[in-house]
Structure 1
């Protein structure tokens, strides 16, 4: 595979020891921005959970592991651990998401890595933190959603806890880890030294609760389920229309008055029951009782046009096929096409941040397991005879 030498992270080598979602999504960010991400995985038959991310050519593996190279290593073998040491000596970053104690058994803890390469940065992603009473528990996204408060505020009032429809804890942990890696790389320019950074699904999930968490910490207010309504602002949320639904996002008093004008009820804009945000929140049920019949008088499409003209925030509610058919989504390029050797042209989810000089780019589909093993070993200085021996002994 050819790498873009002008990409933002060109020249940065990352060893990806991760699997499932949080760690791979972190490394995906680095890979799409040009880092040489080497996905280290066990040879076939060594890892009993090797199929945990689904089929190799399936959507999840392709979306998570694109733009990477693959090296197979059986880290239980001394010869494979020697390969790892040589790889670490060339690396800028190592990313792992083992349970906290496992890294020490495998020799990929920070002290061991820094002894080989003092400039290396280790990023660790765990379920609940590197120590403490839950440190050795296996971490899963939905467990973190529950423990971190998200499930308690998601769903309709009184229906019981509901998980979010995407892996919020996993993906945000990956984002925070990638952010930490970039900060550590910048700091290394001054100190010349690497460092260990770590985050967890639990910490990331709590951070993603943001204002909901701050409501409790500052004011002692425990957020409850608010369904499709915004918990502290109204009218926001889902409104029924003549032929479906739309999302309404009115927050300021000026937006409220503009909405009332467009709906033909200007007097509601100054009605003391609704004139301020505090009054509307106190009369949330009455606001909805007044608005719902009015929205039912016209179609979603018509309302969206009318509200846009009135500068009232509103939008459609799409299933995924509609998302990628939307003209703005097409314009910003959130689907990127790559050619796969067996599946042909496939579309993957593009990077959502745009660098004007050094943009992200999906450089290749997810590699086959061990696809780049021999090439990487040769880069590390192994001879053809040594590479053959490593294969014979099942070290790679």
Structure 2
């Protein structure tokens, strides 16, 4: 494990999370230098068995999913349902700045490690929870006890209703936005609460509901309905308020072109050989282009579909906002992600080749973030972490 260089190198987090939302939160904190100790049950995080799986399964007890969002962490196996495991957790909590969990409402309370109990042990501790519909401590919800997954949060928070082809019933976003965005907000909440605790000496409970996070992401849905009675619907690959601001077909793929402003529109008209559109009554300003969006899209599609994606990017790149619709293969071949440290090769345990992970997008010049350690094997650091904390516990009592 390389040195933790990020700005949170003086922060310790006890990570009780599983799956995606919680581990993504603590991954961000770890990428920024925090010492994240992943407390796992004897069976391990449920995502360890999710693929793509490595060739050497004996030498590596996790797949790509776990590897991606649990890098930079240390794994400790503790059965917190047992007295010995719970007591060990309490001792670790004395040295921690924060605890993060994403269990259903009441699970940790029933396990005897509620925020209230931990606050007695460490008054400065920050306790963060990520749940489908929040925790009663911060606001009652009629759905508080409902289970939730990414697709449920995307649907209830408004994202599905505005995504997909025009006239359709809505599409979920491809990535797990319903997990990843709440996790991201929770990481910000943890850092903010630790900042306050170091100033006041008092920790606090915080939570992020997956439903709430997606609702905040879809802020346009809220103000449109409140301010104008508008129920936003799917707009396909464009938007109802800007034009052109769309995905256009090319002869070998697709390309994004955004030229809502007059300067970019004028340049684009010259590039496609239609300078008269600058003064055409249907397209002379953004409001007219929005009103005649189908005409504008038709004109541009006629140009894009007879050219390759590369030809279009070469023609207007750097002049008009444009970008190819990249597949994973395209991203790996693009010089930008590697130049920016966004494709990071990470060694894996056992007789397995390295895996490439998405890097940390938060770039700092003085205290750089980064991937400094692969994801841990189950319980890999149990002895080390417990010994450092002066905790003696029989192996059979840990699991």
Give the alignment of 1:147-296 within 5 angstroms: 147-296=156-305
Contact persistence 1:7–1:34 (CA under 8 A): yes
Structure 1, residues 206-265: CA drift from partner, whole Å, max 9, x if none? 111133433223322111111111232111212223443211111112222221122111
TM-score, normalised to structure 2's length? 0.92
1:391 lines up with 2:395 in the alignment: yes
Q: What is the alpha-carbon distance in structure 2 between the residues aligned to residue 201 and residue 108 of structure 1? A: 22
Q: What is the alpha-carbon distance in structure 1 between the residues aligned to residue 333 and residue 387 of structure 2? A: 45
2:265 is paired with a residue whose SS is: helix
Name which of 106, 110, 113 aligns with 1:108. 113
Change over 3 Å in CA distance of 1:50–1:75 after alignment to 2: farther
1:122 lines up with 2:127 in the alignment: yes
Q: What is the alpha-carbon distance in structure 2 between the residues aligned to residue 247 and residue 318 of structure 1? A: 10
1:14 is paired with a residue whose SS is: strand
Structure 1, residues 303-322: CA drift from partner, whole Å, max 9, x if none? 2111126x111111111111
| Gapped regions of structure 1 (runs ≥ 5) | none
CA RMSD of aligned residues (A): 1.8
2:18 matched to which residue of 1? 19
2:333 matched to which residue of 1? 325
Q: What is the alpha-carbon distance in structure 2 between the residues aligned to residue 50 and residue 308 of structure 1? A: 41
Q: What is the alpha-carbon distance in structure 1 between the residues aligned to residue 158 and residue 217 of structure 2? A: 10
Structure 1, residues 62-116: CA drift from partner, whole Å, max 9, x if none? 0111111111111121111111111111111000111111121122322111100
Structure 1, residues 141-167: CA drift from partner, whole Å, max 9, x if none? 000100011111111112322111001
Q: What is the alpha-carbon distance in structure 2 between the residues aligned to residue 319 and residue 50 of structure 1? A: 25
Contact persistence 1:246–1:300 (CA under 8 A): yes
Name which of 363, 369, 376 aligns with 2:378. 369
Q: What is the alpha-carbon distance in structure 2 between the residues aligned to residue 280 and residue 52 of structure 1? A: 51
Q: What is the alpha-carbon distance in structure 2 between the residues aligned to residue 231 and residue 63 of structure 1? A: 36
Q: What is the alpha-carbon distance in structure 2 between the residues aligned to residue 139 and residue 315 of structure 1? A: 35
Contact persistence 2:49–2:62 (CA under 8 A): no
Contact persistence 1:20–1:53 (CA under 8 A): no
Q: What is the alpha-carbon distance in structure 2 between the residues aligned to residue 259 and residue 87 of structure 1? A: 60
1:340 is paired with a residue whose SS is: coil
Change over 3 Å in CA distance of 1:196–1:205 after alignment to 2: same
1:66 lines up with 2:65 in the alignment: no
Q: Displacement, 1:53?
A: 4.7
Q: What is the alpha-carbon distance in structure 2 between the residues aligned to residue 220 and residue 18 of structure 1? A: 40
Change over 3 Å in CA distance of 1:337–1:52 after alignment to 2: closer
Change over 3 Å in CA distance of 1:73–1:250 after alignment to 2: same
1:316 lines up with 2:324 in the alignment: yes
Q: Displacement, 1:51?
A: 5.3
Q: What is the alpha-carbon distance in structure 1 between the residues aligned to residue 379 and residue 253 of structure 2? A: 50
Contact persistence 1:107–1:113 (CA under 8 A): no
1:347 is paired with a residue whose SS is: strand
Structure 1, residues 176-218: CA drift from partner, whole Å, max 9, x if none? 0000111112112221111111101111111111334332233
1:38 is paired with a residue whose SS is: strand
1:336 lines up with 2:344 in the alignment: yes
2:232 is paired with a residue whose SS is: coil
Change over 3 Å in CA distance of 1:334–1:220 after alignment to 2: same
1:80 matched to which residue of 2? 85
Structure 1, residues 307-338: CA drift from partner, whole Å, max 9, x if none? 126x1111111111111210122211201122
1:351 lines up with 2:355 in the alignment: no
Contact persistence 1:141–1:170 (CA under 8 A): yes
Aligned length: 386
Change over 3 Å in CA distance of 1:252–1:212 after alignment to 2: farther
Structure 1 runs of 4+ with >6 Å offset: none
